[in-house]
Structure 1
Amino acid sequence: MPRVFTSNQLLKGRYSEPGRVYLLTTVTEQRRPVFCDFHLGRLLVNQLRQAHDEGIVRSIAWVVMPDHCHWLLELRRKTLGELMCRFKSRSSVTVNQACQSSGRLWQKGYHDRAVRQEEDIKNIARYIIKKPIRAQLTTRIGDYPLWDACWF
């Protein structure tokens, strides 16, 4: 029988290393397509940029999809848990205020993957920003408004 992990068990062994590159993914509650609304997507983009501007991370690439977000970053300050708690909390407040609503914006937890030194970060960034094309939201990445990468 497959082993089922609780969210607390998933945190065991999670290690945050300043200077390390991570690929983070977080999903909206019940996979609601909240960010189909361009304005709400831009509010989330502002939160990604704020973490970068505050020096918590160096954002390498990100894309906001209708029901989730991918973020390739170099961790500078704080732990992954602190970063994601701050990001999810601030974005929830901002989006709920804009919608004049309340409640959960994000599912509990998030997926993180430490990028190994030998991996090609540019290829990972390209993979991330091409997600809207693979999801058939656009045919050209330049036409999709909710992404950025430090090389493009």
Structure 2
Amino acid sequence: MARKARIWFPGAIYHITARGNRRDSIFHDFHDYQSYMGLIGSCKQDFPFFIHAYCLMPNHIHLLLETKEEPPGNIIKFIHSRYAIYFNKRYELTGHVFQGRYHPKLINSNDYFLKASRYIHLNPVEAKMTSKPEHYFWSSYSNYMDGSEEKSILETSRVLSLFQEPCRKKYCTYVEQIEKRI
């Protein structure tokens, strides 16, 4: 049976998630996280896209990804196939690293776009890995707080454009508000 075609058009924005096979860890140490981030940067050279927010959890990933001229499947295939080769070689394993296909949720409004970014940034807090989102190292939240761009991997301007000045402060207040998650 053929897979159902996924909706895609240039400029489409997705909240992308992918989980480790059998919910196993896909990141064991700093080098693993750094390798995944490096693959995002390498992929951007071949398939330009924007990352508006990210969070790499020990057994899954969240990306708020905006396509340009390539569908998200090409982007995720580039990153995940190379990461799986790296991971299996490093840990002397075989087989799947990720559980099934990645999951893209099409973002169809500014409200949903902001809620997805907040959800991504609060993921480590909800998982009780940290009490504040800025304390989790493998998330883009601290970049929003301090204004640093992570080696051109992260694009903060679209999120921040949805807030009035001081937009960084207002975005952080929005993220840290206690509200039911999406």
Output the TM-score relative to the length of structure 1.
0.82
Q: Tell me the equivalent position of 1:145.
A: 137
Contact preservation (8 Å) 1:42, 1:146: no
Q: Tell me the equivalent position of 2:144.
A: none
User: Which runs of 5 or more structure 1 residues have no equivalent in the other structure?
Assistant: 1-5
- 1:41-85: CA deviation from partner (whole Å, max 9, x where unpaired): 221122223333445311111111111101101111322222222
Q: Tell me the equivalent position of 1:135.
A: 127
- Separation (CA, whole Å) in 1 of partners of 2:92 and 2:69: 32
Q: Tell me the equivalent position of 1:110.
A: 102
Q: Report the AA paired with residue 146 of structure 1.
A: W
Contact preservation (8 Å) 1:61, 1:125: yes
Q: In proportion to residue count, which structure has more strand?
A: 1
Query: Quick one: structure 1 residues 49 and 122, their matched pair in 2 at CA, closer, same or farther if it must change by over 3 Å?
Result: farther
User: Which runs of 5 or more structure 2 residues have no equivalent in the other structure?
Assistant: 142-154, 157-167, 169-182
CA RMSD of aligned residues (A): 2.1
Query: Quick one: structure 1 residues 45 and 102, their matched pair in 2 at CA, closer, same or farther if it must change by over 3 Å?
Result: same
User: Pairwise mapping of residues 41-80 of structure 1 onto structure 2 (< 5 A)?
Assistant: 41-80=33-72
Deviates more, 1:63-72 or 1:102-111: 102-111
- Separation (CA, whole Å) in 2 of partners of 1:100 and 1:36: 14
> Matched residue of 2:27: which SS?
helix
Q: Tell me the equivalent position of 1:81.
A: 73
Deviates more, 1:140-149 or 1:83-92: 140-149
Contact preservation (8 Å) 1:43, 1:95: no
> Matched residue of 2:128: which SS?
coil
Count of residues paired in the alignment: 144
Q: Paired residue for 2:87, among 69, 91, 95?
A: 95
